[in-house]
A = this chain, B = another copy of it.
Amino acid sequence: MIKRFAIYGILVAVAAISLQLIQYKLLIINNSIELYSGVLALIFTITGIYAGQRLTRKKEVVIEKLVYATPDPVMTSLPIEVDEQLREKLGISKREFEILELMSHGHSNQEIADKLFVSVSTVKTHTSNIFLKLDVKRRTAAVKKAQDLNLIA
């Protein structure tokens, strides 16, 4: 940081000397204080921008950028196994898990029943069991918890 200020100091010194030259050239040849002012303004604006950038360059804000990509085959194997382990750990059966996934897609009990070719009663039984095992009282909470646990996507 000290080094940086030293460099900037040298630059200012060089600029000062340059100014003397520019000053006399412009003032003697053109006798124009306006032109001189303009050049001066331009130079120091640029210098200011440069200095400002240099001195504050490290103040960066880290922002997450979402990159869309299809899942890597190698990566997909891991989550599924974890899902499986966690599912079994929670005592959730495969059928219940199926229903949990359909539930997370926003389907009603009736729609789930139709998709799985079972009665609404069956779906209700499963969902009730899922709620017990996930320790929640509503399907929205079940989906949220399952997502938080990485049980489902």
Footprint of B on A, CB under 8 Å?
15, 19, 23, 27, 33, 37, 40-53, 56, 59-72, 75, 78-79, 103-108, 136-145, 150
Copies of this chain: 2
Question: Nearest B residue to A49 by beta-carbon distance?
Answer: B52
Contact B79 A144 (CB under 8 A): no
Question: Nearest B residue to A80 by beta-carbon distance?
Answer: B63
A138–B92 CA distance with the chains assembled, in angstroms? 25
Contact A106 B138 (CB under 8 A): yes
A110 to chain B, nearest CB (A): 11
Contact B66 A105 (CB under 8 A): no
A105–B142 CA distance with the chains assembled, in angstroms? 10
Contact B70 A107 (CB under 8 A): no
Contact A64 B65 (CB under 8 A): yes
Known: A19-B37, A44-B40. A66 touches B63 (CB 8 A): no
A25–B115 CA distance with the chains assembled, in angstroms? 73
